[in-house]
Amino acid sequence: MTMRIAVAISGRGSNLEALLRALGPGAPAEIVLVLSDRADAAGLAHARARNIPVRVLPHPDDAGAWLGSLREHRVDLLVLAGYLKLVPASVVSAFRGRIINTHPSLLPAFGGKGMYGRRVHEAVLASGMAETGVTIHLVDEVYDRGAVLAQSRVSVLEGDTPERLAQRVLEAEHRLLPAAVLAAAAAGRPVALDQSPVASRQSVEQTPTPDPHL
């Protein structure tokens, strides 16, 4: 069965575009709805160009509006792809384990409220860290705190500016987020990606079946 996906964005939408490219005809997942807290988010054009329903949430803390849209479109998985606001707690609770986020650092480093966009990369450079990267994680009630599903490392290079570093991290995000979504579609729910070097992009970590006697 095709997994029905909603993607929430706040701006440019290049991760949405990467997902749309990865989820072509015959893919095990389909983007059925794009949500945004901003009517002027440039990335909404990617959805409109493909006739994907768009829903702008002018009051993004209105849980009823979220839940109404997600249910109306029978959404299985909500992907936050450059969505900058907190998802209301009752939406997190109703979709527990079925919301993922992409973050442009190796969480728990350089995460939390206010840590987004250029600020993340400036902080990485100021720290002198030799590497940064991308984290795909489950969403809970706190910014950037949920269980990590996948990470991809990006080296900090001599002479890097926040812009250059951001560009390489974004390229890594455009690979890792679609891989995480395809793994979720294969498993029927978000799963940790196998981080082994050979299978790093596609395999799904096998989760043991729970023992009914425990």
- 151 is an interface residue for ligand GRF by CB under 6 A: no
- 117 is an interface residue for ligand GRF by CB under 6 A: yes
Q: Which two tokens stand for residue 48?
A: 């409109």
Residue 57 has what DSSP assignment? Answer: -
First to last CA, the chain: 30
- 116 is an interface residue for ligand GRF by CB under 6 A: yes
> In terms of CB distance, is 28 or 117 closer to ligand GRF?
117
**How far is Cα 43 from Cα 36, in angstroms, rounded to an integer?**
9
Q: Which of 46, 59, 73, 103 is catalytic?
A: 103
Q: What residues form DSSP beta bridges with 78?
A: 6, 99
- 11 is an interface residue for ligand GRF by CB under 6 A: yes
Q: What residues form DSSP beta bridges with 101?
A: 80, 137
**How far is Cα 77 from Cα 206, in angstroms, rounded to an integer?**
19
Q: Which two tokens stand for residue 187?
A: 């498993």
At residue 169, φ and ψ (nearest 5 deg) are -65, -40
- 111 is an interface residue for ligand GRF by CB under 6 A: no
Q: Is 103 a catalytic residue?
A: yes
Under 8 Å between Cβ of 101 and 83: yes
- 146 is an interface residue for ligand GRF by CB under 6 A: no
> In terms of CB distance, is 172 or 203 closer to ligand GRF?
172
In whole angstroms, the minimum distance from the beta carbon of 206 to ligand GRF comes to 28
Give the total of residues touching ligand GRF (CB under 6 A).
Answer: 16
Residues within window 39-68 making contact with ligand GRF, judged by CB under 6 A? 43
Q: Quick one: which of 46, 55, 103, 121 contacts ligand GRF (CB under 6 A)?
A: 103
Residues that bind ligand GRF (CB under 6 A): 9, 11-15, 43, 81-82, 102-104, 116-117, 170, 173
